[in-house]
Homo-oligomer: A and B are copies of this chain.
Amino acid sequence: MYPNDGYRELGRQECLRLLATAPIGRIVHTRQALPAVLPVNFGLDDDGAVLLRTSAASELARAVDGAVVAFEVDAVDADTYAGWSVVVTGRAEIVTDPAEAARLERTGPRSWAPSPEEVFVRIEPELVTGRELVGGRTMYGLHRSG
């Protein structure tokens, strides 16, 4: 967060409440030494951990397993730039414990198009930050030109 940039910072509980309202988030990680970001759907665990499900063979699973990643969700009004943004930062790990994987099979995000080898990726909510974007008064305070 950039506390001097004029946003209203949100508390952890408010962030987690907003996270639960978002259908899509974006996982930010490093790939080949470059920043990488991908929109994904997700679930939330009881402790606020972000849960993804992906093919065990996916490059994303390999790229994020054991790495500290950021997971961002936002809702911004394109006309006023009012809205909010929440970021969960923490270590991502493929769930390998059979009991935990079995629990997530019941409670985690469900597969829409199942593949034979899927894994859950859990992002620990080590840092949960958020900010309210106040239209016209953001750090950018801009609209697109033209």
Contact surface of A with B, Cβ cutoff 8 Å: 2, 4-5, 23-24, 26, 28-30, 34-43, 52-55, 57-60, 68-70, 72, 74, 76, 78-79, 81, 83, 85, 87, 89, 107-115, 127, 133, 136-137, 139-146
Contact = CB atoms under 8 A, between A and B. Distances in A.
Q: From DSSP, what is the main secondary structure of chain A's interface residues?
A: strand
B68 A35 contact: yes
A107 B74 CA distance: 28
Contacts of A89: 34-35
Nearest to A31: B2
Contact of A78 (B24, B59, B127, B133): B24
B136 A37 contact: no
B54 A109 contact: no
Contacts of A68: 34-35
Contact of A39 (B39, B76, B127, B145): B76
Contacts of A26: 26, 37, 72, 74
A142 B109 contact: yes
B35 A143 contact: no
A59 B81 CA distance: 20
Nearest to A108: B145
Nearest to A126: B34
Contacts of A59: 2, 4-5
Contacts of A113: 136-137, 141
